Amino acid sequence: MSSMLGLARSSQPANRGDFQRRIDSAQSLPAFQVRLGHDHDFSITKLIEGEIIPRLLVAHATDAPPLVPVDGMDTITQDEVEAFAPLSLRVEAADLLDRVEAILARGVSVETLMVDLLAPTARLLGEYWKRDECDFVEVTMGLWRLQEIVHEISARTPAARQCAAGGRRALIASMPGDKHSFGALLLDEMFIRDSWITDRLSEVTTAELLGRVSEEWFDFVGLTIGYDYHIGALPTTIKGLRSVSRNPRLCIMVGGPTFVNNPDLAAQVGADGTAPDAKLAVKLAGKLVATHEREATY
């Protein structure tokens, strides 16, 4: 199944130094400037997807310790997450998919895989970056590999992605200015699997986000926030969404590491709620929308 990704394999191990040398030695890359730190003012994702990824997908570690599946286990352990996260920085997406397939083969559901393995892995990559254990490019590459896994798994179950006509509509978006959209991708997938009709926006501007809500009817908007420094703009963004929405009863939820650690912050920024993972977010969103619909009938 991993061959469906069309990724080349390499017989040479790669480490962080080798990763950086490959970037430095890549030929004919366009000139660009990168300002380090958390206040990025560039679209590193587009640069990586268009120029760097095609040159780097041959790099992976052949000596990575395998994940050992346990027959009959339908849960993901913390040890598995801690073993999988560093692999996402070191090996090809195809190799990661092999390990994911082993986990699915022992009876773990797709939803559990996404919520209990892939989402925590993405959060750990963010922690690695905050602790300067890897750089922004490495984190972006790791998240790209996780996205490829989600796309591959989703492609296997098209029947589960069918949405009933006239179903509830959700708009899922990463917070304007947030360069990483894996959280929005994962949330979107979970809503689709619960028969919602969804639109997903990534690397969107505030104007584009408000424009979409003003032009189309949505029952729900989910905003994912990867980094604390985007939270300051949330109250204004949420207020703007409510003011322009075609749905006067629009439900808005926020999610991300900061809200997992401080769920009360959701109410402070003007959202209707938050949830610690995508599976619970779908359940809460359904309850919120149903509550708003009942209130409208009174």
pLDDT of residue 4: 39
pLDDT of residue 288: 94
**Residues 122, 288: Cα–Cα separation, whole Å:** 27
Measured CA to CA in angstroms, residue 38 lies from 44, 96, 148, 224 at distances of: 13, 28, 25, 17
From 64-73, 195-204, 247-256, the region with the lowest mean pLDDT? 64-73
CB 8 within 8 A of CB 55: no
Express each pLDDT in 201-228 by its tens digit: 988 899 999 999 999 999 999 999 987 7
Cα torsion 168, 198, 259, 280: sign: positive
Type of residue found at 159: A
CA angle 256, 267, 248 (to 5 degrees): 100
Mean pLDDT of 129-138: 87
Q: What is the full DSSP assignment across 184-215?
A: HHHHHHHHHHTT-EEEEE-S--HHHHHHHHHH
What are the phi and psi torsion angles at 51 (to 5°)?
A: -125, -45
User: What domains appear along the chain, each with residue ranges and CATH number?
Assistant: 2-156 (no CATH), 160-297 (3.40.50.280)
pLDDT of residue 297: 67
Mean pLDDT of 148-166: 67
Mean pLDDT of 67-96: 81
Express each pLDDT in 14-32 by its tens digit: 344 443 443 343 333 333 3
Q: Which residue has the higher pLDDT, 89 or 162?
A: 89
Express each pLDDT in 109-119 by its tens digit: 898 999 999 99
- Residue 43 above 70 pLDDT? no
Buried b (16+ CB within 10 A) or exposed e, 243-266: eebebeebbbbbbbbbbeeeeebb
Type of residue found at 195: S
Q: Where residue 196 falls among pLDDT bands split at 50, 70, 90?
A: very high
Nearest Cα to Cα of residue 222 among 256, 200, 252: 252
Nearest Cα to Cα of residue 231 among 211, 258, 250, 251: 258
Q: Where residue 44 falls among pLDDT bands split at 50, 70, 90?
A: very low
Select the highest-mean-pLDDT range: 26-40, 108-122, 124-138, 240-254: 240-254
Helix axes 234-244, 206-215, angle to 10 degrees: 20
CB 103 within 8 A of CB 118: no
Query: Which pTM value belongs to this model?
Result: 0.66
